[in-house]
Amino acid sequence: MATAIKRRRHTAAVAKSKNGSNSHAAAEFPADSLESELAAIGSSVPARAWAKVPADYFANLDHYLRGAPKKK
């Protein structure tokens, strides 16, 4: 069974980082893909704006969008 998940090819800077994540190094995606467009949008947002995003944003998306109770 084939999977729809695409694996990212990491840059050398990401591979050298302590835990495998580096917010300043962008992953390489095929041109004209949704991932490359989202990466371009994300990289255009200033670091101060990303710092304002709550750490539990994705886990509690319904809370932040619609006011539902937070998940623990």
Answer whether residue 1 is part of any domain. Answer: no
Q: For residue 62, is it within any domain?
A: yes
Tell me the average pLDDT across 13-33: 58
Flag whether 55 is in a domain.
yes
Please give the Cα distance from 72 to 40 (Å, whole number). Answer: 32
User: How remote is the C-alpha of 1 from its chain's centroid?
Assistant: 26
Contact 26, 39 (CB under 8 A): yes
41: left (phi over 0), alpha (psi -120 to 50) or beta: alpha
> What is the domain range of residue 47?
12-66
- Residue 6 falls inside a structural domain: no
Residues 24 and 46: beta-carbon distance below 8 Å: no
Number of domains observed in the structure of the chain? 1
Q: Is the whole model's pTM more than 0.75, yes or no?
A: no
Residue with the larger pLDDT of the pair 53 and 1? 53
71 inside domain = no
The predicted-structure confidence for 3-16, as pLDDT tens digits, reads as follows: 555 555 555 544 44
**Residues 59, 63, 65: CA angle, nearest 5 degrees:** 105
The reply to whether 35 falls in a domain is yes
